[in-house]
Structure 1
Amino acid sequence: MKVAVIGGTGFVGLHITRQLLAEGHVPHLLVRPGSEHKVADPVACKLVRGEVRDLGALVECVRGCDAVIYLIGLLREFPARGITFEAMHYQGVVDTIAAAQENCVNRFILMSANGVRPDGTAYQRTKYRAEEALKGSGLKWTIFRPSVIFGDPEGRMEFCSQLKREIIDSPLPAPLFFSGLLPTQAGLFELAPVSVQDVARAFVLALSEPRTESQIYPLCGPERLSWKAILTTIAASCGRTKAMVPAPVLPIKLAAGLFDRFSWFPITRDQIQMLLEGNVCTGNDSFARFGLTPTRFGVEQLGYLRDSR
């Protein structure tokens, strides 16, 4: 099967491209000029140079394919540089849907995010609107909603590597965020980290499973872990312990309101809000429906953090 992958040079895209190749598929990758070195196997893949805002490149990438996988996702936006949730999460999906329709490619798989909703943050709203656009497109669609994704980033942006670099490696104590006045719930909000390899397997399995059409799959790891437990595990994977202190979010939000438009500021107001909301699956049977056993989040699974030192 020929599969157009939009976002194939990113963290998740790298692993999905490798899984596609392992299953005998031919990925067609949309690659920004200068990012050719990020391609998993440039000989085995067809490369189309261009950006998601380049409609001609999108059409060329999708042409002749049997399916499309859209993976582009931003952790934060920088409007002054044209990098926005609206452009990458929503408009990019709309334009890719149009390219698929123009080329009679009926199968479309979208990576959304766990917790998206129409009245959430800009990140959540644009992901939700992209889902709605796809559901109304007339294509045979499948939507995946992963929680936070971990795995060897190989030089790309990844959840645990970022926390190691910005919190565990810092000489300052790790912040246990809490809202309100009293720190009784500091650092106890829960996430369900999911392995990037498990996510890749689910995406590729969906290509050949008609029963996955018109379905939304939340993808969470097998455990609900507190922020404190996650930081402790990341530190332990590097052979360390880490001091932690309660951190009220109000002053952090005020600082973010002034500085989160700058890339050097480590967190945005929306990221703080989504973090405190938690990120777990209410129904956690998606992997079982694919016949997969999700990988647990533990010290052994985070060996890549030790190797990156």
Structure 2
Amino acid sequence: MKVAIIGGTGFVGFHITRRLAAAGHVPRLLVRPGNDGKVAQPGSCEIVHGEVGDSAVLEACLTGADAVIYLIGILREFPAQGITFEALQHQGVLDTIAAAQKTGVGRFLLMSANGVHGDGTSYQRTKYQAEMALKSSSLRWTIFRPSVIFGNPEGRMEFCSQLKKDIIDSPIPAPLFYEGLLPVNAGAFELAPVSVTDVADAFVLALTESRTESQTYSLCGPERLSWKAILTTIAAAAGKTKVMLPAPVVAIRATAAMLDRFPWFPISRDQIKMLMEGNVCAENDSFARLGLTPTRFAVEQLDYL
């Protein structure tokens, strides 16, 4: 099967491309000029150079493909640089849907995110709008909603390596965020980290399983872990211990309000909001529905740190 991948040079795309090639599929990647070095197993891939905003390039990438996978997602937007949630997480999906319909590609797999909804942050809202657009199309769709994803970054940005760099390696105590005036339940909000290899396996399986069509899968790891437990595990994997102190999230929000327009500032107000909401699956049965067993988030899985 020939599979067009939009966003195939990123963290998840790298692992999906490798899994596709190992399964005997032919990945065809849309690659921005100068990013050829980010392609996994280039000898097994077809490459189309260009930008997602170019409809002619999108059509060239999809022509002759049996399916398309859309993976582009960003954690922060910088409008002055032309990097926006609307352009990359919503309009890009709309354009790819149109290209798929024009070129006769009937199968569309979309990576969304766990917890998206129509009245959330700009990140959540544009992901949700992309889901709605795909569901209302004539394409045979499958949507995946992963929680925070961990795994060997292969030189890319990844949840655990970013936390190690920004928090664990810092001389400043790790922040245990809390709402309100008193540090009650500081760092107790929960996430359900999911392995990138498990996410990649889910995508590859869905390509050849008709039962996954018209289905949405929330992909969470097998355990709900507190922020404090996650930081403790990352520190242990890095061979460190880390002092942690309660941190009022109102102070972080106030600082972000002044500085999150700058790329060097590590977190935005929307990211803080989503972090404090937690990120766990309401019904954690998607891997069982797929016939896959998710990987635990544990020290032995984080040897890349």
TM-score, normalisation: structure 2: 0.99
Distance of 2:236 and 2:230 partners within structure 1? 10
Counterpart code for 2:167: I
Stretches of 4+ moved more than 3 A in 1?
none
Unaligned runs of 5+ in 1: none
The residue number in structure 2 matching 1:36 is 36
The residue number in structure 2 matching 1:191 is 191
Task: Kindly state the Cα deviation for residue 34 of structure 1 after the two structures are TM-superposed.
Answer: 0.7
The residue number in structure 2 matching 1:58 is 58
Counterpart code for 2:210: P
- 1:79-94 aligned at under 5 Å gives the runs 79-94=79-94
- 1:52-201 aligned at under 5 Å gives the runs 52-201=52-201
The residue number in structure 2 matching 1:287 is 287
3-state SS of paired residue (1:183)? coil
The residue number in structure 1 matching 2:23 is 23
3-state SS of paired residue (1:303)? coil
Counterpart code for 2:182: L
The residue number in structure 2 matching 1:247 is 247
Q: Between Structure 1 and Structure 2, how many residues are aligned?
A: 305
Distance of 1:250 and 1:46 partners within structure 2? 48
3-state SS of paired residue (1:34)? coil
The residue number in structure 2 matching 1:2 is 2
3-state SS of paired residue (1:274)? helix
Task: Kindly state the Cα deviation for residue 282 of structure 1 after the two structures are TM-superposed.
Answer: 1.0
Distance of 1:183 and 1:51 partners within structure 2? 46
Distance of 1:177 and 1:30 partners within structure 2? 39
Distance of 2:127 and 2:103 partners within structure 1? 24
3-state SS of paired residue (1:28)? strand
- 1:219-298 aligned at under 5 Å gives the runs 219-298=219-298
Distance of 1:53 and 1:245 partners within structure 2? 44
Task: Kindly state the Cα deviation for residue 41 of structure 1 after the two structures are TM-superposed.
Answer: 1.4
Task: Kindly state the Cα deviation for residue 106 of structure 1 after the two structures are TM-superposed.
Answer: 0.6
Distance of 1:144 and 1:32 partners within structure 2? 24
Root-mean-square deviation (Å): 0.5
Task: Kindly state the Cα deviation for residue 114 of structure 1 after the two structures are TM-superposed.
Answer: 0.1
Range 38-47 or range 119-128, more displaced: 38-47
Unaligned runs of 5+ in 2: none
3-state SS of paired residue (1:185)? coil
Task: Kindly state the Cα deviation for residue 258 of structure 1 after the two structures are TM-superposed.
Answer: 1.1
C-alpha deviations, 1:143-198, integer Å up to 9, x for none? 00000000000110100000000000000000000111111111000000000000
Counterpart code for 2:93: V
Range 177-186 or range 82-91, more displaced: 177-186
3-state SS of paired residue (2:42)? coil
3-state SS of paired residue (1:296)? coil
Counterpart code for 1:244: M
Distance of 1:185 and 1:8 partners within structure 2? 39
3-state SS of paired residue (1:229)? helix
C-alpha deviations, 1:215-244, integer Å up to 9, x for none? 000000000000000000000001111000
TM-score, normalisation: structure 1: 0.98
Distance of 1:226 and 1:174 partners within structure 2? 14
C-alpha deviations, 1:74-105, integer Å up to 9, x for none? 01011000000000000000000000000011
Distance of 1:96 and 1:140 partners within structure 2? 14
Distance of 2:137 and 2:257 partners within structure 1? 37
Distance of 1:18 and 1:41 partners within structure 2? 7
